[in-house]
Amino acid sequence: MKRLTTILVVLVLAALVSMPVMASVPGELLIWSDGERAPILTAVAKEFVVEYGITVKIQELPFGDIRDNLAIVAPTGEGPDIIVGAHDWLGQLVTDGLIEPIDVADPSLFLESGLDAFTWGGQYYGIPYAIEAIGLIYNKDLAGEDGFQTFEELIDVGMKLRDEGKYALVMPQPDPYHTFPFFSILGGYVFGMNADGVLDPLDVGLANAGAVEGFELFEYLMDERILARATPYDTMMSLFQNGNAAGMITGPWAFNDVRSAGINYGFQQIPSYKGQFGRPFLGAQGFMMSAFSENKMLANLFLNEFVATKDTMLAIYEGDPRPTAFLPAADIINEDPDMRGVMESAAEGIPMPAIPAMNAVWTAWSDALELVINEQSEPQPAIENAVQLIIQTIKDSGY
Amino acid sequence: MGKMMKGITLGLLNVVFIWIALFLLNAEAYLVFVLLLLGALLTNFIFITPKGYPYRYLLPASFFMILLVVYPIIYTVYISVTNYGTGNILNKEQVIAQFEERYTLEPSAEQYAFQVYRDPQASLWFLFTDAQGAQLLGRDGEITRLEAGDPILMQLAAFHELSRVELVQATNELSAQSFAYDDTRELRMRNINSFSVYLQQYSYNVESDQLIDLQTGTVYTPINGYFQAPDGTRLSPGFRAVIGFDNFRRLFGNPQITGPFVSVFVWTIQWALLSVATTFVVGLFLAILLNDPHLRLRKMYRSLLILPYAIPAFISALIWRGLFNTELGVINQILQATIGSSVPWLQDPFWAKVALIILNLWLGFPYMMIICLGALQSIGAEMYEAALVDGATSWQQFRHITLPLLMVSVGPLLVSSFSFNFNNFSVIYLLTRGRPPIVGAQTPAGHTDILISYTYRLAFESGRGIDYGLASAVTLVIFLITGAITFINFRFTGALEDVSKNV
């Protein structure tokens, strides 16, 4: 009998102890943030407690895990109220029903393209804090003080550099994101716009005349050993860090590695070809709100009043320097030449399509690049086959 | 004392059971919950009654087998007949709840500033003011227009007006309030400063199981995990639904999926066989060398040769990935310098496979060497003496004594090594990621993909985003194939036991 009592007591205790672990808590905000943003948000959370007496908890997760974990955890009611994320998650998160629109109090505070990137069906789904676009990081000792204004110029320099065993250009391969400027330079696009200004998933423009010509330029550069062939990101970076490459197509995340190698570098937008500029994808990062939040109004309030402020945005910038999407902070941040360069490149950018159909594009496109990089196919048939596949996959998925 | 220990152990066990059970309940995993409950009851029964004593050791084993083996298999079967994946993550109730909570803002929506008062009974009174200064009273879901100097204003003034901080703290309570504006519209909280007029977009009819668009009158019926209008328009998000054998039909009915599947399957078998064969041959060869007592510095060689096994495969694989790099890799630079041409490792389908076999040889031969060394030591010296007397050559000795006796102990390990390599995801993924791609494949598939990496890519990198349904279907097919192979393996190992009986 005594034993039974012990068991019962333990059972009750266990039930009591384990309850609070799972309760979702209205009246308290939970934010999933990556490591770079977490300390800044923690400081902002302290101000929020002082002002309103409402606790904001920050849970740190690797940036790339946030989206997938949200899909697993949010429907069970244990998820966060707010997440940090990239705009290209939008399509998947909205189609999955995992995030909800945010009431942006003053849209004029944000760079239009940054807010556009977080817009879906005419509604804002995020408060952007940073935008980014790739460009050309160039080695001033090899490419000259002003870099390469045109691909024609880059080819001339490349012909000389290859005799020294050096490349005029390196980039991560195969990588559709970094190769997109070659497709866009003479008029290629991923999805066309229909009359309503909405992306049409069945109008894929990666194999139109301009795209094929740009892709052929890409192949020509590799054939002439002006562009290094089949270099993964790390190989590309070490070529550039060792002074074996004059230019590198990449984004602001590479600045630290380049600086630490002691390279005398500059950042410019992608050079022009036949008088037209290669337009990169524009990306944006921001804060989004879970559809399963128990505190939607509070989350909106926190984002609008405590995150969309000059102080917070500058702190986010200092923690991890990227061009800001918040205009009141832009003047200060643009004093940095690197950031100004990225902003200029982003000004030419095309928002990377966030519709779920984009999933069908990446794999087929990357395979087409790989076939050309591996010299197993000519650009035109490779990309035409890829586009056919993309459209078929999109139709099969029932878009 | 012993009884007390038993009581404490059982108590702790029950704590764990309850803890897990609550999590399962919260995650709505009812099937696992029921299984767990049965397991917990059985455990208590067996511990408490002396009759259950014999089952004390059998029970935990079968319990964990059900939880960790049987349940996942059943769950995989279930997922394979659903559309679980991007766009169909939530369950139907959650999706309906989302549609019902969808409100659209009137295009010309006026904003109403508001004040909130709490009366002595702690219930809330709302006072709305529009842009023209006209005032409305909100109470119990109804609004009434107020004239200037309405006596109710005096009454409100006597109540406690919520300060801004109090408003923020009460946001969840406030945002749950709605006031009928007219027959179709509602006044709802828009943000901390204002209320606005909203229209409800959808209403769900429980009897007909349909969703009705209140503005257009369109009726949406649930079909294959989506609410669908008569003209075929689907509402997003969709929900998880059983869609029958569609995933299997996709797998077998579409040559652009079947084609890669067959080629992936053939390579998987080749890969597993070649991996076992190469590592075994090299391992055995080295073991025989090291087994020779005349060899000097044997221990040193042995330690050095085990090193590749001691270094984590993740590190080795990434180093080899660098070595195989076409432009800058050491291997190609040596080839370029010696024979003047280089090999497109990792880019050409054939050479990528060669590279994988080389890498796996490097990672796997020490294991084979170790088990062969052990097995060689167990073969008695008198056998070889007898063979010498009979005038057998050393090849004959190897062929007729060493190999058959070795196979007795090593044979089953070769079989398990085959199964291991059949599912050796990490080596494939770290070196080639399944690449180079198969031309024209509609699912992500590469020339060096084995079934398990193909499934992984299908689940997480498919055209649709995440496609658990199709991936589960492929998993089941793989399960059947590996099941068949294992069955044949068992017969094979049975044959080996006969050899040992005959010796």
Mark whether A162 and A247 lie in a shared domain: yes
- CB distance from B439 to chain A under 8 Å? yes
Q: Which fold has domain B250-502?
A: MetI-like fold (1.10.3720)
A102 and A214 inside one domain? no
A238 or B494, which is more confident = A238
Q: Which residues on A lie below 8 Å from B344 (Cβ)?
A: 374
CA distance A230 to chain B (A): 8
Domain assignment present for A4? no
pLDDT of residue A380: 95
Report pTM: 0.78
Terminal alpha carbon distance of chain B: 54
Residue A1 domain flag: no
Q: Which whole number is the average pLDDT over A20-33?
A: 71
**Are both A256 and A337 inside the same structural domain?**
no
**Nearest neighbour of B463 by CB, restricted to A238, A360, A366:** A360
Judge whether A280 and A264 are in contact, CB under 8 Å: no
Q: Which domain holds residue A170?
A: 135-279+357-396
pLDDT digits (tens, 9 = 90+) for A286-324: 999 999 999 999 999 999 999 999 999 999 998 888 889
* Structural domain contains residue A304: yes
pLDDT at B42: 83
The answer as to whether A11 is a domain residue is no
Q: Does A16 map to a domain?
A: no
Q: Which of residues 110-169 of A touch B (CB under 8 A)?
A: none
pLDDT at A18: 45
Same structural domain for residues A267 and A300?
Answer: no
Residue A387 lies in a domain: yes
In A237-365, DSSP assigns E strands to: 245-250, 265-268, 272-273, 276-277, 281-290, 350-351
CATH code 1.20.58.370 region(s) in chain B: 2-80
Q: Would you say residue B122 has pLDDT above 90?
A: no
* Residue among A140, A155, A145, A132 at smallest CA distance from A271: A155
Same domain, A101 and A165: no
State what percent of residues in chain B have pLDDT above 90: 25
The CATH number of residue A113's host domain is 3.40.190.10
Chain B residues 316-345 with a CB less than 8 Å from chain A: 325-328, 344
Pairwise CA distance, residues B360 & B320, whole Å: 10
Record: contact A96-B14, CB cut-off 8 A: no
Q: Is the pLDDT of residue A356 over 90?
A: no
Q: Where in chain B is the domain with CATH 1.10.3720.10?
A: 250-502
- Confidence category of residue A24, pLDDT binned at 50, 70, 90: very low
> What is the pLDDT averaged over residues A8-35?
63
Q: For residues B320 and B325, what is the distance between their CA atoms, to the nearest angstrom?
A: 9
B14 interface with A at CB cutoff 8 Å: yes
Highest mean pLDDT out of A59-63, B37-41, B289-293: A59-63
The model's pLDDT over B253-294, given as tens digits with 9 standing for 90+, comes to 877 777 888 889 899 999 999 999 999 999 999 998 888 888
Q: Are residues A212 and A336 in the same domain?
A: no
Give the Cα-Cα-Cα angle B51, B5, B24 (nearest 5 degrees): 75
Identify whether residues A161 and A124 lie together within a single domain: no
Q: What is the pLDDT of residues A197-256, one digit of tens each?
A: 678 888 999 999 999 999 999 999 999 999 998 888 888 999 999 999 999 999 988 988
Number of domains in chain A: 2
Q: Which residues contact B107 (CB under 8 A, 6 or more apart)?
A: none
pLDDT of residue A20: 37
**Residue A6 within any structural domain of the chain:** no
> Does residue A30 register a pLDDT over 90?
yes
Question: Quick check: A389 pLDDT over 80?
Answer: yes
Helix (H, G, I), strand (E, B) or coil at B487: helix
Are B442 and A393 an interchain contact pair (Cβ–Cβ within 8 Å)? yes
What architecture is the B2-80 domain classified under in CATH?
Up-down Bundle (1.20)
- Topology, domain B103-200: Periplasmic binding protein-like II (2.40.430)
Task: Answer yes or no: is pLDDT of B441 > 60.
Answer: yes
Chain A residue at shortest CA distance from B25: A76
Say yes or no: A236 and A371 in one domain.
yes
Q: Does B28 touch chain A (CB under 8 A)?
A: yes
Task: Confirm if B211 and B202 have CB atoms less than 8 A apart.
Answer: yes
ipTM metric: 0.76
Best of A7, A70, A362 to disrupt the B interface (most B CBs within 10 Å) is A7
- Please tell me if residue A301 touches chain B, with a CB cutoff of 8 Å: yes
Taking each helix axis as running N to C, give the angle between helix B298-310 and helix B255-291, from 0 to 180 degrees, rounded to the nearest 10.
Answer: 160
In a domain, A378, yes or no: yes
Q: Are residues A378 and A336 in the same domain?
A: no
pLDDT on residue A21: 36
